[in-house]
Chain A
Amino acid sequence: MKIALVGNPNCGKTTMFNHLTGSSQYVGNWPGVTVEKKEGRLKGHKGVIITDLPGIYSLSPYTLEEVVSRNYLINDRPDAVINLVDATNLERNLYLTTQVVALGIPVIIALNMIDIVRKSGDKIDIKKLEKEFHCKIIETSAVKAIGLMDAAKMAVRLAAAEKTHQSFALFSKKVEAALSEISTLIGDRAMPEQLRWYSVKLFERDQKVLDAMQFPDSLLQTIESIIVAAEQEFGDDSETIITNERYDFIDEVVSDCVRKAGKKLSVTDRIDQVVTNRFLSLPIFIAIIWLIYYISVTTVGTFVTDWTNDTLFGNWLTNGATQLLTSVGTAGWLISLIVNGIIGGVGTVLGFIPQMMILFFFLSILEDSGYMARVAFIMDRLFRRFGLSGKSFIPILISSGCGVPGIMATRTIESEKDRRMTIMLTTFMPCGAKLTIITMMVLTFFPGSSWIAPAMYLLGIAMIAMSGIILKKTRLFAGEPAPFVMELPAYHLPSLKSVLLHMWERSKHFVIKAGTVIFLACSLIWFLSSFSWRLQMVSNVEASMLASIGHMISWFFAPLGFGTWKGAVASISALAAKENAVGTLAVLNGVSDTANSHALISGIGSMFTSVGAFSFMLFNLFNPPCIVAMSTTAKEMNSYKWTAIAIGYQMALGYGIAFVFNQLGRFLLLGKSFDVGTALAILLIAFVIFLLFRPAYGSHPKAEKIVDGLEASR
């Protein structure tokens, strides 16, 4: 038996779902899209599966979440629907209900947040409301766990009875007449209980339904003539007629069933008077962000990450494993694989987890409390210019600590186009590991320079902005910006349970999915750097396969100014973890301890020119991030094509920026003569300027652009 939870965003649906299913949930994606799909078994009813549909406002054909929900409700036909309605916001919530009751599936309305309504003194006449919507209503409070199980049990009973929901007339007589004409026409082409749904959708000229039904032209023409007749009578288009009449119906019902206790300034209003105040909002915003960043990235986060990396993995586990393996007489190569390859590599990755969990903890609080919507409200203006949205701010900020949680934080962006672009660009922000590369290069070539490190962050921001402008003009991201008609939900005190659950869900996926990829990658790099082609273990990296691969591909890096095998090998190993760039250079220069900076500085200093060093740094900052971040990208994009596009673009940008810098630097700073490379660099800059200022893709009429936009967002 399948029961679906349907409701607006922020109506308490997730809290209810967690309560009903406990720990038996499975979180995945709906097929082919990045919309989250959650399922779980109802506590105490093994045979009942509850599906938490995405939070939606309507069942229109225009947004991914709505289409996913519609398809599920129409094609998979759950046995009952629990429609969660926020009782403090009846009008807009019941709008979805007017659509859900037309599906022919038994519906229970869970009138949620009833505790807040009672406290405010408002009275809702439940009996009347039940009669108007022809279905059972249960009063619930997801946060206080009131009535949730009752609603679920009622749904189970209803589903077991196998009755369909009786549709009822809620539109005006004229519209109902048109609808019944349509339903007579299509009567033999749809299931009787879905007839109402299809009639309304056809009347609205819902493109998705029209495509799916594949009616003969003659039938379509007859239906069209019915619609046109109604439109002429109303002087409006059919979609507007339906929407208006739904809200008219709700207006009437609400004025009949609800007695307001009189208006007071709500808590949310009072908070927002301060928090989104024109003058105070920015300082408050900066203070909150700084606090989160300070706790999760700089202080506590760094402390636990360092402890996990240096003490737990770097010391206890490494030494323990070495001792244990030695004592049982394990072969030297196996110890090396386990200790250096696996514990070292996977440990580095797992070291990020405590930090990530702390960060996700705070992010969940921001989201659950309703502040995240205010962040988007405040920042939208700035980010929209670059084809991003206000919600891109948080991921980019987090990426300055670590790109992996940064990419994962894009989950809060609803528009798939914005989300993809944010994933692609967010890792241009130098992360903590990249900072070690910057520090090393500054120490070696530009000692005492205080402007290079901040300049790299600014350059990162500039690259995000530039890429945003360029990409938004390409076919991939073309089209109207996603509507930013966004609810600013009432503030809630988030419940600890749901915050922790949120945090755990995100971290768990990272551990499992990324863990497997990273494990393989680390083993591979260890293997290549510890063995020669004859598969003999080597103690000197110079004799390893990795070195000869470095020799083979060093030509690729020559135009960037560091075409030595060492530079090549360092750049490859930086893909495993960015700080490896420095570590590898240390090893290749025969410095066993990266802390021994004098030896390292002179070693690296002899490898590069200052221009080449800067170029090496730029390349490693802007080419694709480490394997962990790349596998997270793949997971979050949930598409091979988009993963390839993202990593391809990052590769092109990293190579391009290092190329331009090196070629121009050689000519301008090192006094080399003007050659093909210099000319190519100038051409490349001209090309980028062209990309920045050319007209956007498809500057044809609006309607087509929207279609393109929808296609691009698939």
Chain B
Amino acid sequence: MKTLKDAQPGDTVRVAGILGEGALRRRIMDMGITRGAKVTVRKVAPFGDPIEITVRGYELSIRKSEAENIELS
């Protein structure tokens, strides 16, 4: 299944679910990345990681390793 890590800058995608467990998973959800949320990938940091996304009207930075836990529909 496609994850947020695969999305390219400029893409707008919808979240299908969050993988993983514990602190990281809860943190991702707490920040508003929940099932059905619309996420736009804005850019990649100069050294190739992390990425910047827009979710629920604000900007969020997330590492690629963490974005891998976010499944897209």
Contacts and interface: CB of A to CB of B under 8 A. Distances in A.
A92 B58 contact: yes
Interface in B11-69: 17-18, 21-32, 34-37, 42-50, 52, 56-63, 66
Which residue, B37, B61, B62, has most C-beta atoms of chain A within 10 A? B61
B21 A247 contact: no
Given A62-B23, A483-B24, A484-B50, A89 B30 contact: no
Given A377-B52, A488-B60, A703-B21, 16 more contacts: A89-B57, A91-B32, A92-B57, A236-B17, A268-B59, A276-B52, A380-B63, A381-B45, A480-B24, A485-B24, A487-B59, A487-B60, A488-B59, A488-B61, A490-B58, A490-B59
Given A243-B30, A380-B49, A486 B35 contact: no
Nearest to B63: A484
Contact of A60 (B18, B30, B47, B61): B30
B18 to A, nearest CB: 7
Interface in A371-398: 373, 376-378, 380-382, 384
List the 6 shortest-distance A-B pairs measured between CB atoms, nearest first: A381-B47, A62-B23, A58-B30, A488-B59, A91-B56, A243-B29
- The binding surface of chain B is classed by DSSP as mixed
Given A485-B31, A485-B66, A378 B23 contact: no
Given A483-B23, A483-B66, A244 B34 contact: yes
Interface string A413-438: 00000000000000000000000000
B61 A373 contact: yes
Interface of A: 57-58, 60, 62-63, 89-92, 95, 236, 239-240, 243-244, 247, 268, 272, 276-279, 281-282, 373, 376-378, 380-382, 384, 480, 483-490, 702-703, 706, 710
Contact of A62 (B22, B49, B50): B22
A419 B2 CA distance: 34
B32 A377 contact: no
A702 B43 contact: no
Contact of A485 (B22, B27, B48, B57): B27
A485 B42 CA distance: 15
Given A276-B43, A276-B52, A487 B22 contact: no
A377 B24 contact: no
A455 B12 CA distance: 47
Contact of B27 (A278, A378, A483): A483
Contacts of A95: 30, 32
B24 to A, nearest CB: 5
Given A484-B66, A487-B59, A706 B22 contact: yes
30 contacts: A58-B26, A62-B23, A62-B26, A90-B57, A92-B56, A239-B29, A240-B34, A243-B26, A244-B29, A247-B37, A272-B42, A276-B43, A276-B45, A279-B46, A281-B45, A373-B61, A378-B45, A378-B46, A381-B48, A483-B28, A484-B66, A485-B62, A485-B66, A487-B58, A488-B52, A489-B59, A490-B58, A490-B59, A702-B21, A706-B22
Contact of A244 (B24, B35, B43, B62): B35
B44 A278 contact: yes
B32 A247 contact: yes
A278 B46 contact: yes
A543 to B, nearest CB: 58
Contacts of A90: 57
A478 B58 CA distance: 32
A382 B49 CA distance: 9
Contacts of A278: 43-44, 46
A62 to B, nearest CB: 4
Contacts, number: 128
A341 B47 CA distance: 50
Contacts of A282: 46
Interface of B: 17-18, 21-32, 34-37, 42-50, 52, 56-63, 66
A494 to B, nearest CB: 18
Contacts of B32: 91-92, 95, 247
A60 B18 CA distance: 17
A377 B37 contact: no
Given A91-B57, A278-B44, A380-B49, A706 B23 contact: yes
Contacts of B27: 60, 62-63, 483, 485
A203 to B, nearest CB: 14
B50 A377 contact: yes
Contacts of A62: 22-23, 26-27
B4 to A, nearest CB: 11
A272 B59 contact: yes
Nearest to A373: B61
Contacts of A710: 23
Contacts of B25: 239
Contacts of A91: 32, 56-57
Given A91-B32, A95-B32, A488-B61, A380 B26 contact: no
A384 B50 CA distance: 11
Nearest to B37: A247
A711 B56 CA distance: 33
B28 to A, nearest CB: 6
Which residue, A279, A483, A490, has most C-beta atoms of chain B within 10 A? A483
B34 A243 contact: yes
A703 B50 contact: no
Contacts of A58: 26, 30
B73 to A, nearest CB: 14
A209 B52 CA distance: 34
A45 to B, nearest CB: 34
A238 to B, nearest CB: 12
A255 to B, nearest CB: 12
A240 B28 CA distance: 11
A247 B34 contact: yes
Contact of A57 (B31, B35, B61, B63): B31
A480 B25 CA distance: 12
Nearest to A242: B29
A484 B62 contact: yes
B23 A377 contact: no
Nearest to B50: A380
B46 A239 contact: no
A703 B43 CA distance: 31
A279 B42 CA distance: 15
B40 to A, nearest CB: 11
B60 A485 contact: yes
Contacts of B37: 247
A316 B45 CA distance: 52
